[in-house]
Structures are given as structure tokens and as C-alpha cells.
Amino acid sequence: MTEEIKSDAVYTTLEVQDLLKISNSTIKRLLKKGILRANKVGGQYRIMGKEILRLISPELEKKSVKAYMKVKNKAVDVINKW
């Protein structure tokens, strides 16, 4: 059974792990690097559904590829000038 992620719902890290099928260390890494935004409440993280949806959105991947290509093209231009 697949659960729908609701953008206005609040999830715990354990719930996000179950939804995304990722390990505890992966969720910690995503939080530490700021890839997945969350708020700390009483020593525990709370994650909005819209942040989970943003993370798995194809738009985020497109932005990442675009940023990578920009950096790559700049590096190629510098190398070609040598």
C-alpha cells in the first residue's frame, strides 16, 4: 500500500524514512546538508510534506542538472582558453 504525501501534513523522520524507503543515516545526511528542510521541535525533527514533495520533484533534478551544466561549461571555457 502506497501512502500519499500531503503537502500540509507534518511528518517525523521515521515517517519520512518509511515513505521514501531510505535509511536513518540517509535522512540524517539529507537534513545535515540542508537538502531536506525541517524544524526541530523538542529535540526531534518535524518535516513538512511540501518539503518531501520538493525533494522528490523532477523540478529539483532539472535545477541540479542545469546548475551542473553551467559550472561544467564555465570550466570547459577556461580550459579551452589555455
Domains in the chain, start-ordered, CATH in brackets? Answer: 10-81 (1.10.1660)
What is the spatial distance between Cα 79 and Cα 77, in angstroms, rounded to a whole number?
5
pLDDT given at position 2: 59
Q: What global pTM score does this model have?
A: 0.67
Residue 5 makes CB contacts below 8 A (sequence gap 6+) with 19, 49, 52, 53
pLDDT at 32: 92
How many separate helices (H) and strands (E) can be counted in the chain? 4, 3
Specify the pLDDT at position 1.
47
- What pLDDT does 58 receive? 73
| pLDDT on residue 60 | 64
Q: Which helix (H) or strand (E) holds 42?
A: none
Q: What is the pLDDT of residues 46-78, one digit of tens each?
A: 999 999 988 888 776 677 778 888 899 999 999
